[in-house]
């Protein structure tokens, strides 16, 4: 893909670029996980919880569906990602947004020699938002520049959301991971649960336990070197204070923690450790983020050859899972291979299916933010839940 027209802008350091994706302290496009600072993460966490609450009952869900029926979303996914695609689909449906989609790159005018930027302007002609996932790194970012240029010329332009373009960025995955962790570390009681003291219960066993993401020990296991979800999540967790991170990976340079990332995390005050066996850290971590070994990169192009035999050092067996702290959540960005056996799915620490479902709430919250209807959600939520204050402090 020819990105030369945007090359100069693409090659700048991320920190220089960020203001171009914001507007008045809000998100204009969603391109990098680095766009999210702590206040934004907390804001989106609260909003995601409200969306979830409002989606529970028919009447409040109809309120959500009435928020964006006048906006249309284009989902442009020429790189396969069923989970992200379906999650955005459900998020749009929650807010009443009609969707158009391209999932098959061959069904496209591009075979007639059209520039992908002309395709992008076509999408922005018919639709009010473009969520995109393509194999080309930088394309979503370049599309955001195209939209900004149109904005300057007073031409029609729409928000661009990066659904995982290229090898390095998947900001909405990072967002749902953080939201899941925020939610876990609220230690709120289960809905409709009579026990109101989950946090207090845990404190009996773990007296130093605190609420929130600060002062925690985070474990990551698997393909650390090539797992972009690990990179994005670690970067966001580095926004919190008094954080330890333990990375467990095969002793292969492609899979272990990259040097620049180690340095970057350390520079932000994170205490970083590396290990070569999951057993070394399970008892110590407050949270375990498992990932699969991306074996398809090691194979021929077909990607069909299947995973290599799984090294037991990077598998969370039921026995290892039981040795974890009782409150410590197990996350996984999916798809999984054999690194978490099915037997672990019913372990009370297993949060990865809820994590997947959280992607829907977070993406709906993000869309609501982009279209400036988040305020409507907040005020409607307050109206519906008269016990709003209680809920927010976790004592509902």
Judge contact between 218 and 285, C-beta under 8 A.
yes
Q: Which of these ranges, 95-103, 211-219, 272-280, 380-388, lies near a second copy under the rule CB under 8 A?
A: 95-103
Position 198 contacts a second copy (CB under 8 A): no
Position 275 contacts a second copy (CB under 8 A): no
Return the number of the residue (121 or 268) whose C-beta is nearest a second copy: 121
Position 336 contacts a second copy (CB under 8 A): yes
Among 15, 153, 194, 259, binds a second copy (CB under 8 A): 153
* Angle subtended by helix axes 82-94 and 352-370, to nearest 10: 50
Binding flags for a second copy, 32-71, as an x/- string (CB under 8 A): --------------------------x--xx--x---xx-
Binding flags for a second copy, 285-304, as an x/- string (CB under 8 A): -------x--xx------xx
Position 102 contacts a second copy (CB under 8 A): yes
Position 385 contacts a second copy (CB under 8 A): no
Q: b/e per residue, 134-144, with b = 16+ CB within 10 A?
A: bebebbbbbbb
Query: What size, in residues, is the chain?
Result: 396
**Cα–Cα dist 199/211, whole Å:** 8
Plot region of 212 (φ>0 → left; ψ -120 to 50 → alpha; else → beta):
left
| Maximum distance among all Cα pairs of the chain, rounded to whole angstroms | 67
Give the distance from CA 204 to its chain's centroid.
32
**Minimum distance of a second copy from residue 111's CB (angstroms):** 6
**Minimum distance of a second copy from residue 52's CB (angstroms):** 12
Neighbours of 277 (CB within 10 A): 13
| First vs last C-alpha separation in the chain | 52
**Minimum distance of a second copy from residue 188's CB (angstroms):** 17
Among 4, 15, 25, 112, binds a second copy (CB under 8 A): 112
Element (H, E) at 330: strand 330-331
**Cα–Cα dist 258/201, whole Å:** 39
In the sheet with 160-162, reading across from the earlier edge strand, the strands are 99-102, 73-77, 129-133, 160-162
Position 7 contacts a second copy (CB under 8 A): no
Q: Which of these ranges, 23-31, 151-159, 179-187, 276-284, lies near a second copy under the rule CB under 8 A?
A: 151-159
Residue count, binding to a second copy (CB under 8 A):
62
- Render 58-118 in DSSP notation, one character per residue: HHHHHHHHTTSTT--EEEEE-S--HHHHHHHHHHHHHTT--EEEE--TTSSGGGGT--HHH
Position 135 contacts a second copy (CB under 8 A): no
Q: Which of these ranges, 23-31, 110-118, 205-213, 314-322, lies near a second copy under the rule CB under 8 A?
A: 110-118
Give the distance from CA 370 to its chain's centroid.
16
Among 254, 262, 357, 396, binds a second copy (CB under 8 A): 357
Return the number of the residue (145 or 218) whose C-beta is nearest a second copy: 145
Position 89 contacts a second copy (CB under 8 A): yes
Return the number of the residue (15 or 346) whose C-beta is nearest a second copy: 346
**Cα–Cα dist 159/177, whole Å:** 23
**Cα–Cα dist 206/216, whole Å:** 13
Query: Which residues form the interface with a second copy (CB under 8 A)?
Result: 5, 58, 61-62, 65, 69-70, 72, 74, 80-83, 86-87, 89-90, 93, 98, 100, 102-104, 106-115, 117-119, 121-123, 125-127, 153, 155-156, 292, 295-296, 303-304, 306-307, 334-337, 342, 346, 353, 356-357, 360
């Amino acid at each position: 893909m020819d990105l030369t027209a945007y090359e100069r802008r693409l090659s700048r350091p991320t920190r220089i670029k960020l203001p171009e994706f914001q507007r008045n302290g809000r998100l204009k496009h969603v391109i990098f996980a680095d766009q999210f600072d702590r206040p934004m993460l907390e804001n989106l966490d609260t909003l995601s919880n409200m969306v979830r609450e409002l989606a529970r009952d028919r009447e409040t869900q109809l309120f959500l569906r009435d928020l964006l029926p006048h906006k249309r979303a284009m989902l442009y996914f020429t790189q396969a990602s069923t989970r992200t695609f379906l999650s955005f689909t459900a998020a749009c449906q929650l807010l009443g947004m009609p969707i158009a989609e391209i999932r098959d790159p061959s069904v496209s005018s591009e075979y007639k020699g059209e520039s992908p930027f002309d395709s992008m302007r076509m999408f922005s002609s018919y639709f009010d938002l473009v969520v995109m996932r393509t194999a080309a790194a930088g394309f979503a970012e370049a599309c955001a520049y195209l939209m900004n240029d149109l904005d300057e010329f007073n031409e029609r332009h729409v928000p661009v959301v990066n659904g995982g373009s290229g090898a390095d960025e998947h900001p909405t995955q990072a967002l749902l991971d953080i939201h899941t962790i925020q939610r876990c570390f609220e230690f709120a009681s289960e809905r409709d649960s009579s026990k109101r003291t989950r946090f207090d219960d845990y404190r009996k066993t773990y007296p130093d336990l605190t609420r929130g993401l600060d002062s925690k020990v985070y474990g990551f296991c698997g393909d650390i070197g090539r797992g972009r979800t690990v990179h994005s999540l670690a970067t966001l967790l580095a926004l919190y204070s008094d954080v330890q991170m333990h990375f467990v990976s095969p002793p292969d340079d492609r899979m272990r923690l990259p040097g620049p990332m180690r340095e970057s995390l350390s520079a932000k005050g994170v205490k970083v450790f590396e290990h070569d066996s999951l057993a070394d850290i399970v008892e110590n971590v407050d949270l375990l983020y498992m990932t699969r070994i991306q074996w398809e990169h090691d194979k021929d192009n077909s990607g069909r050859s299947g995973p290599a035999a799984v090294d037991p050092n990077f598998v969370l067996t039921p026995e290892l899972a039981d040795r974890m702290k009782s409150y410590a959540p197990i996350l996984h960005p999916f798809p999984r291979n054999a690194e978490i056996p099915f037997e672990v799915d019913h372990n009370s620490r297993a949060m990865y299916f809820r994590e997947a479902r959280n992607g829907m709430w977070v993406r709906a919250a993000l869309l609501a933010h982009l279209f400036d209807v988040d305020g409507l959600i907040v005020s409607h939520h307050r109206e519906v839940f008269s016990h709003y204050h209680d809920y927010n402090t976790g004592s509902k």
